[in-house]
């Protein structure tokens, strides 16, 4: 069974839908074999939709024409040729999507879920935390009301970014606004719900420490990416100064990256992203590093449903699983329509047990939302939850085609 084609497919929000910039596009990858079997993967976007799409074509050249059983050798050959792979998010994202699709195909061919291929599942359900729930929230009471809505749906862990438009530095007013928002959420949901504070890697070290010390009072479960990534050595001082554990990993691409952060004492909780850190092939290596250090793993999962399905298969096998990120409760309908086969219920995912990824990609929906759109820009950066920097208005088109 030979790999016949590797096809990147961009899907995007319909023109009349107001979406957060990060959720407006999805890159799916369809790998088709010589006997017509199809496997699916996904790659992240976030202001790199078209570069990733084109990188999939580059990666595909190393797979097309090879037997499916040779997929690991194809990956290593791409490694050999791709000079900047270890520092290229575009290259590793494309490689991840193709690797996920190959595993999906093998699981389908053998009639077993991917978790079995990885050594076997050790759990059949995972606890999820909700993200994306606080769109269009600026005032503390808006955060509080939206948080309560998520708790009513069964979530017992909520992640959110309380820092508004603060960037690099943090003004006294900006810090007080963050304190007020986190305090309002804590008061609204009580002590038994985990609060996870998202910094989005936006602050210089002094500002990050100041925020961390202030927000320690609300007993968050972790603080994510508190400092600008290129200043990651400052995380050592952050960990000494702030009681709350540090989580990060969505911008790390290799097992060696994760090992370096753990060895240098810069992180407590790992957050790899299966769609940019080498799919399942590298995912097993990262899981081994986490297990060797006893580090909890909470996979980053911010894009589309194929990503979620792949991540759940990985979660099923992790010896140090911690929490699973979920945007599903806040997704627009177009994104929900792309896949069938899994759901988040009362704050938990059941691991799909059907072959491969355990899902059905609805190809009619993929075709309906197929697009050539580039990532929208402004008035907020593409990594924020829409409406948390500035008030949004329906009908304000921010797309460039």
pLDDT in tens, 308-320: 999 999 999 999 9
Residue 287 pLDDT > 90: yes
Q: What is the pTM of this model?
A: 0.96
Tell me the C-alpha distance between 224 and 247, whole Å.
5
Q: Is 71 a catalytic residue?
A: no
Q: What is the pLDDT of residue 8?
A: 98
Distance (Å) of CA 339 to CA 102, 119, 279, 324: 18, 26, 19, 19
Q: Is 200 a catalytic residue?
A: yes
| pLDDT band at 23; cut points 50, 70, 90 | confident
Q: What is the pLDDT of residue 393?
A: 62
pLDDT in tens, 228-251: 999 999 999 999 999 999 999 999
Which residues have C-beta within 8 Å of that of residue 197, sequence separation ≥ 6? 159, 160, 161, 162, 182, 215, 220, 222, 223, 224, 244
Domains and CATH numbers, the chain: 116-357 (3.20.20.120)
Q: What is the pLDDT of residue 17?
A: 77
Q: What is the mean pLDDT of the chain?
A: 95
pLDDT in tens, 350-367: 999 999 999 999 999 999
Query: Among residues 71, 200, 219, 393, which one is catalytic?
Result: 200
Q: What is the pLDDT of residue 357?
A: 98
Tokens linked to 396: 């304000």
| Residue range 147-167: mean pLDDT, rounded | 98
Q: What is the pLDDT of residue 36?
A: 97
| pLDDT band at 395; cut points 50, 70, 90 | very low
Tell me the C-alpha distance between 91 and 53, whole Å.
10
| Residue range 88-109: mean pLDDT, rounded | 98
Residue 28 pLDDT > 70: yes
Query: Among residues 50, 71, 103, 300, which one is catalytic?
Result: 300
Distance (Å) of CA 47 to CA 28, 53, 140, 324, 377: 16, 12, 29, 24, 8
pLDDT in tens, 167-198: 999 999 999 999 999 999 999 999 999 999 99
| pLDDT band at 115; cut points 50, 70, 90 | very high
Residue 394 pLDDT > 70: no
Q: What is the pLDDT of residue 376?
A: 79
């Amino acid at each position: 069974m030979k790999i016949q084609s590797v096809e990147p497919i961009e899907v995007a929000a319909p023109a009349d839908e107001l979406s957060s910039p990060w959720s407006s596009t999805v890159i799916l990858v369809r790998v088709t074999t010589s006997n017509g079997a199809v496997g699916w993967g996904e790659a992240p976007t976030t202001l790199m939709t078209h570069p990733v799409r084109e990188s999939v074509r580059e990666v595909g050249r190393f797979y097309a024409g090879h037997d499916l059983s040779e997929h690991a050798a194809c990956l290593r050959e791409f490694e050999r040729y791709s000079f900047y792979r270890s520092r290229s998010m575009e290259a590793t994202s494309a490689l991840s999507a193709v690797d996920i699709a190959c595993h999906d195909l093998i699981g389908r061919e053998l009639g077993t879920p991917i978790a079995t291929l990885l050594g076997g599942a050790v759990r059949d359900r995972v606890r999820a935390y909700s993200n994306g729930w606080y769109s269009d929230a600026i005032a503390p009471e808006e955060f509080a009301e939206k948080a309560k809505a998520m708790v009513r749906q069964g979530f017992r862990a909520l992640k959110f970014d309380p820092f508004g438009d603060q960037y690099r530095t943090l003004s006294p007013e900006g810090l007080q606004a963050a304190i007020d928002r986190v305090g309002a959420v804590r008061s609204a949901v009580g002590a038994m719900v985990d609060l996870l504070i998202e910094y989005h890697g936006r602050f210089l070290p002094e500002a990050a420490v100041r925020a961390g010390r202030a927000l320690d009072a609300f007993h968050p479960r972790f603080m994510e990416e508190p400092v600008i990534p290129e200043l990651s050595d400052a995380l050592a001082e952050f960990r000494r100064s702030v009681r709350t554990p540090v989580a990060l990993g969505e911008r790390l691409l290799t097992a060696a990256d994760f090992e370096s952060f753990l060895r240098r004492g810069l992180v407590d909780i790992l957050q790899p992203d299966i769609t940019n850190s080498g799919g399942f092939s590298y995912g097993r290596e990262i899981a081994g590093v986490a297990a060797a250090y006893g580090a909890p793993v909470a996979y980053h999962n911010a894009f589309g449903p194929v990503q979620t399905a792949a991540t759940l298969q990985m979660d099923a096998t992790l010896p140090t699983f911690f929490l699973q990120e979920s945007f599903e409760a806040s997704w627009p309908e177009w994104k929900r329509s792309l896949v069938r086969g899994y759901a988040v219920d009362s704050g938990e995912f059941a691991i799909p047990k059907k072959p491969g990824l355990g899902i059905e990609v609805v190809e009619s929906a993929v075709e309906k939302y197929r697009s050539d759109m580039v990532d929208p820009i402004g008035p907020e950066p593409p990594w924020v939850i829409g409406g948390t920097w500035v008030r949004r208005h329906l009908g304000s088109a921010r797309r460039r085609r």
